[in-house]
Amino acid sequence: MAQPVVPKRTYLLAYLVLLALLLLTTILAYINMGPFSMVIAILIAAVQASLIASFFMQALYESALVRVVTAGGIVWFLIMMTLVLTDYITRGWLPFPGK
């Protein structure tokens, strides 16, 4: 596979979408959605992150091996998050004597 050269137009398009998403997430911050404001902010951030990784960092254009490593970084992070939260969320669900 030759070195991927991403066309300039793709970069520009990704850049414009990123700025639009920034505007959207900032406007949404002014609307009170209770606990969902954090969920939506994180979701938009995740879309922005995947755009940056896919195009600016050319992850979409790299070999399968590189994409597996990229996905691996995300998966390991999610494992860490899930395992820690399964502890903290479920604490106090069951009554233990002496606690």
Partner 1 sequence: MADHAAALVREHFSTAEQQRETETLGMWIFLATEVMFFGGLFVAFTVYRMYYPQAFGTGSAGMNIVLGSINTAVLITSSFTMAMAVHSAEVGNPRLLTLLLIVTMLLGCIFLGIKFTEYYQHFLEHRMPGVWFDYAGPAASKVQMFFVFYYFMTGLHALHMIVGVGVLLVILGRAMAGSFSAGYSTPVAMAGLYWSFVDIIWVFLFAIFYLQGLHV
Site string for partner 1, 48-77 (x = CB under 8 A): xx--xx-xxxxx--xx-xx--xx-xxx-xx
Contact between 30 and partner 1 per CB under 8 A: yes
Find all residues with CB under 8 Å of 23, minimum gap 6, and list them: none
Amino acid at 10: T
Contact between 24 and partner 1 per CB under 8 A: no
4: number of CA atoms within 13 Å, CB side? Answer: 12
Measured between alpha carbons, how far is 26 from 46 in angstroms, rounded to an integer?
15
Contact between 45 and partner 1 per CB under 8 A: yes
C-alpha closest to that of 14 among 46, 56, 43, 45: 56
Is the Cβ of residue 35 or residue 97 nearer to partner 1 in the bound state? 35
Measured between alpha carbons, how far is 12 from 56 in angstroms, rounded to an integer?
10
Residues that bind partner 1 (CB under 8 A): 1-3, 5-6, 8, 11-12, 14-15, 18-19, 22, 25-26, 28-30, 32, 35, 37-38, 41-42, 44-45, 48-49, 52-53, 55-59, 62-63, 65-66, 69-70, 72-74, 76-77, 80-81, 84-85, 88-89
